[in-house]
Structure 1
């Protein structure tokens, strides 16, 4: 089995202690469900650092068969320079603006920048190897 796949795991948040008047805690998502939701999202946010400061960039993405997050960027972009070999985060979600329900999935892992061919206009590909996948459902009272 591929090392990336063996290292991948899903963290399910434990139930939160309830107080009188609280609604049910937000249930975690298992790995299969989290990846299924990611596959249908199409747009997410990559979180990385530039000069020790956090940066967040909305990006289009897709998943490879092993759950790796694939991004496309210009070969010399700030993103490509900043993330190569670094541990970064990726998050995608779907939230209903009216009632706050939905889901969110975060993938943490090491990024690898794959340089494009020398053809004009060729794009670099960034792959985030999933080392930790955390998913949860959102409820209207989520904090």
Structure 2
């Protein structure tokens, strides 16, 4: 396990899409932290002081830049209408949102994460013992 942890941050603007209404720009902070090397965080600005965070697999972001990816709460796919855009669909019990984002901005962010942790090397950054202590109760009796 490595201990020289890094957190990458990038700010972007995604367009919130809704039927029969103009797109609404939403500030998004993308984060990648080597303490959780398999994941990317997208924090969406929801008002003056509010943020909503979605955590999803870095591989999902990579796959979604090229083709439709995801079958859970987060789905990502290239836009059919605009090859320079990606659609990001978020689903939760409280609602559904569709965003359009720049494929190049997302690819650049992803490349920065690869500069820090190459794909396939994520396991080198995970403290397995620490992860197991959170999964297995200390008192089994």
- Report the TM range for the smaller structure's normalisation: under 0.3
Name the one with the larger helix percent. Answer: 2
TM-score normalised by structure 1 residue count: 0.27
TM-score normalised by structure 2 residue count: 0.27
Bigger RCO (CA 8 Å, 6+ sep): 1
